[in-house]
Amino acid sequence: MKMLQHLRSIVDRKNVTITHAWFTTFSFSPAFFEHYVEAVICGIDPKRLTRLEDYELINSRLSEIDIRVFYDPAGLKTSEPKKTLATYIPIHCNSSNFAGMKGLFHPKVSLIIGTEKEQQKAWLMTGSANLTHSGWGRNRETLFTDELDQQNGKKIHDFFRLMMAEQLSEEQNVFNNWYRKLPQKDNPKWEFRYTLNRGTDDSILLDTLMESKKLMIWSPFFDNDVRSLLRNKLKVSGEICIVPDIREDGKVRISEKQQQALKECTFLRESTDKESERFAHGKMWVNEDSILIGSWNCSAAALMGHNMEAGVLIHDSCYDNFRERLKEIEDLIFLDDSEMKKEVAPEPVKNYLNCRVVANWMDRKYLIYVEENFCGSFILPGQQEEKIVCGLKQPVSVQIRDGLKLGKQRLFRVKYIKGGISEEFSGFIEEINTQDRPVYGYSDLRSCIDAFCDSNGGVQERNKEYLYGDSIESPGGLDSLVVSGSGGLNYYSLFFATENLKKSICETEDKEILNRLAYYGAQSVEQLVMLSEKWIGEQGLKKKVMAWFILNEVNGIVDMINEKLKANKITPIDKINPEDEKRGCFDELEKELGDKWASYVRG
């Protein structure tokens, strides 16, 4: 993958420390991005990432490197689970930050910021490649890469600030003023450009193409009326050369209805036949004095400000050089109407919601941000009930009830009514204060109890496991926590462990230590509750007395630590439902046992 090689050449430079890696894309494959791009940025060989647990190597670096992806919701593969803590942010051009736009969020920009020998450095990679395996590995794409100066750094800073307007206010400052420390250059040979909407300073790239005397265009997709776009809107007066993608059946993605109108255009192709089987997804515009490399297809949506596009304008011309090395296409075949319908460009997501869900691990809360007039229900990982949210300016706060399910899913769903029609929207959950996220735990209740029996609080390594599953190939790897047999539990271990834990809670007033006892690390009350619930569900009917003691002892600890933290953050083990067949045996145990038997067994 040549693009990955370019990225690696930046990351692997001697004395370079990467601090930010920000990307924009239309199509977005989280699986590809995490396995290859994130791994390279974090200095990890992708071959090491064979299990879900291996991705914790990346997560351990994300406290030092700020990795973000801004993508169009229409191009997201939600079927691919999010395995790392990097931030993925949907951008919809209909939001208030992109007033006047009605199209797609389509730029392909990679910004790498860091230091080299204590000097601020930044690099740009931009072109036509999406963050997918095809974009970075299979297709023929255009790519421009260079080190940034202060002038272009400012333009890229402003470009990303548009996306940062969607972020939490306290997060917007992470991107301030980095470009001011970059070197200055007189008369740079290229300029970063992005299309926002017609009438802004950033749309002058259209003026660069306007009234070209000759124009050569690389594009896989074309407008429904290419000639009108080029001759009437761009007012190209001279030769027009088009370098299209040629499908495996030998056809180009242009309607046969335009065949007569395009007779005056010259169609060219690369002279290397070995490339013909790869999708030519590259986009480039060359006239007599400039080269434009970026995400602009040959369409009005791209050029006239409907889409958000970006790339670089190079003040140079290689027109004649390109013309010499390309050869004309003989026997050009266009598409009929039925074929053209299948080649229609993607449309913006119609059911998109301008909403975000942020998981704050420190406070153990979800923060839900919605538009002012929105009303609907959110389905969040580990929550038993849907959360109804109606247009509040301040974020809605919801307690995280099951941190393990959040760590395994990282996906939210929203149900709402729009125009009398039921709609559903999905998105990735953003995570902050991730240093407080539990990662490792125990495979069974007995191992957890044994760990708490250590009065010094030492972590027992036996049966300690990665909490979110193991194999990334297994569909169940992200949906279930393997719990091995919990035989061998005895009353002595249970009471000794719970007494040790109660003592630890009572003897400290340090909030950080209390938080760790409650939620974090292999030994936490939260994991004790989870494993106890599993054990009761599996063996409660067979071992009623032990189940009764586990329920009461663990719930007593939950009450104690919630009171100590002045918050009810941990949910106790659920009481048995009155309709449940197991309810009766617990009612009998309540009458039989009581405090006396509990004291006797402790004795």
Q: Report, as an integer, the average pLDDT of 42-67.
A: 89
pLDDT band at 259 (very low <50, low <70, confident <90, very high): confident
C-alpha distances out from residue 581 to 35, 104, 398, 562, 574, Å? 47, 55, 32, 30, 15
Q: Let me know if residue 237 belongs to a domain.
A: yes
Q: 336 with 453, same domain? A: no
| pTM (predicted TM-score) | 0.80
Query: Tokens 């003691």 appear where?
Result: 549
Q: Report, as an integer, the average pLDDT of 308-321.
A: 91
pLDDT band at 271 (very low <50, low <70, confident <90, very high): low
Q: Let me know if residue 347 belongs to a domain.
A: no
Instruction: Using the predicted structure, report yes or no on whether residue 481 has a pLDDT greater than 50.
Output: no
**pLDDT tens digits, 500-523:** 899 989 998 888 788 878 887 667
The last residue of one of the domains, among 401, 434, 467, is 434
The secondary structure of 419-434, three-state, reads CCEEEEEEEECEEECH
Q: Let me know if residue 76 belongs to a domain.
A: yes
Q: 322 with 372, same domain? A: no
Q: 457 with 369, same domain? A: no
Q: 202 with 259, same domain? A: yes
Residue-level pLDDT at 351? 62
Q: How many structural domains compose the chain?
A: 3
Q: Which has the higher per-residue pLDDT, 96 or 458?
A: 96
Q: Let me know if residue 350 belongs to a domain.
A: no
Q: 141 with 219, same domain? A: yes
Share of the chain above pLDDT 90, in %: 32
The last residue of one of the domains, among 434, 459, 488, is 434
> Minimum mean pLDDT among 123-127, 195-199, 449-453, 582-586: which range?
582-586
CA dist 87 and 298 (Å) reads: 32
Q: Report, as an integer, the average pLDDT of 115-126.
A: 92
Task: List the beta bridge partners of residue 379.
Answer: 413
pLDDT band at 291 (very low <50, low <70, confident <90, very high): very high
CA dist 199 and 209 (Å) reads: 16
CA dist 249 and 189 (Å) reads: 40
DSSP conformational letter for 475: G
Share of the chain above pLDDT 70, in %: 80
C-alpha distances out from residue 516 to 111, 142, 280, 437, Å? 36, 49, 53, 10
3-state SS, residue 115? strand
Q: Report, as an integer, the average pLDDT of 360-388.
A: 87
Q: Let me know if residue 349 belongs to a domain.
A: no
Q: 407 with 463, same domain? A: no
pLDDT band at 281 (very low <50, low <70, confident <90, very high): very high
> Minimum mean pLDDT among 60-64, 295-299, 485-489: which range?
485-489
Q: Which has the higher per-residue pLDDT, 146 or 519?
A: 146
The CATH number of residue 368's host domain is 2.60.40
Instruction: Using the predicted structure, report yes or no on whether residue 487 has a pLDDT greater than 50.
Output: no
Instruction: Using the predicted structure, report yes or no on whether residue 473 has a pLDDT greater than 70.
Output: no
Q: 285 with 407, same domain? A: no
Q: 424 with 444, same domain? A: no
Q: Let me know if residue 541 belongs to a domain.
A: yes
Q: 524 with 458, same domain? A: yes
Of the candidates 131, 5, 15, which has an alpha carbon nearest to the alpha carbon of residue 67? 131
**pLDDT tens digits, 332-372:** 888 887 887 777 666 666 666 778 899 998 888 899 988 77
Q: 142 with 267, same domain? A: yes
Q: 35 with 138, same domain? A: yes
Find the domain containing 145 and state its range. Answer: 2-181+188-342
Residue-level pLDDT at 209? 84
Q: Let me know if residue 351 belongs to a domain.
A: no
Q: What is the mean pLDDT of the chain?
A: 81
Residue-level pLDDT at 31? 94
Instruction: Using the predicted structure, report yes or no on whether residue 214 has a pLDDT greater than 90.
Output: yes
Instruction: Using the predicted structure, report yes or no on whether residue 377 has a pLDDT greater than 60.
Output: yes
Q: State the burial class of residue 341 (Cβ atoms within 10 Å of its Cβ: 0-12, 13-18, 19+).
A: exposed
The secondary structure of 336-354, three-state, reads CHHHHHHCCCCCCCCCCCC
Instruction: Using the predicted structure, report yes or no on whether residue 66 has a pLDDT greater than 60.
Output: yes
Q: Let me know if residue 133 belongs to a domain.
A: yes
